[in-house]
Amino acid sequence: MTYRIGLGPTQSSEPSEVRFTGHGRDSAVAIVLDADARDSGNSPDTTLRKGLVLGKVTASDKYKEYDPTAGDGTDTARLILADEVDLLDEGGTAADTEGLGAFRGDFIASALIGLDADARDDLAHCAFDDEL
């Protein structure tokens, strides 16, 4: 199976920095984002913003936006999207896309997308600053 690489220039108007220290910058892993992943607060919603909290779909081992009400595995926060990713291919169709997910580090809580109390607990190797 071939995956597209979705890293590219920033397209959203959200803050570009989601970390408050350099701690954990080397703690990112290559992941595959599910073609069905969406960033509902962005336009288009197929452009996933840096800082989106991600869960892992149990059946496919692909990542999508964290959803605490889902029963597919994405109800557990696993990673934070390290760079913005566009899921659309050249033909305008959403496709499984490679990206980077951070599993450890120091993050600005207000800059993260989808972070709630349960996600904070799930992301035990991350520190969150609410004051920045």
Per-domain boundaries in the chain:
4-129
| pLDDT at position 7 | 42
Phi and psi at 110, nearest 5°, equal: -70, -15
Which element (helix H / strand E) includes 81?
strand 77-81
State pLDDT tens for residues 20-68: 666 656 688 999 999 999 999 999 999 999 999 999 999 999 999 999 9
Query: Which tokens sit at 12?
Result: 């959203």
**CA 60, CA 72: separation in Å to the nearest integer?**
10
Domain 4-129 sits in which CATH superfamily? Head decoration protein D (2.40.300.10)
**CA 78, CA 112: separation in Å to the nearest integer?**
13
The reply to whether the predicted model has a pTM over 0.75 is: yes
State pLDDT tens for residues 91-125: 999 999 999 999 998 999 999 999 999 999 999 99
| pLDDT at position 130 | 82
Mean pLDDT across the stretch 76-86? 96
| Residue 10, CB-side half-sphere exposure with 13 Å CA sphere | 11
| pLDDT at position 78 | 98
| pLDDT at position 23 | 61
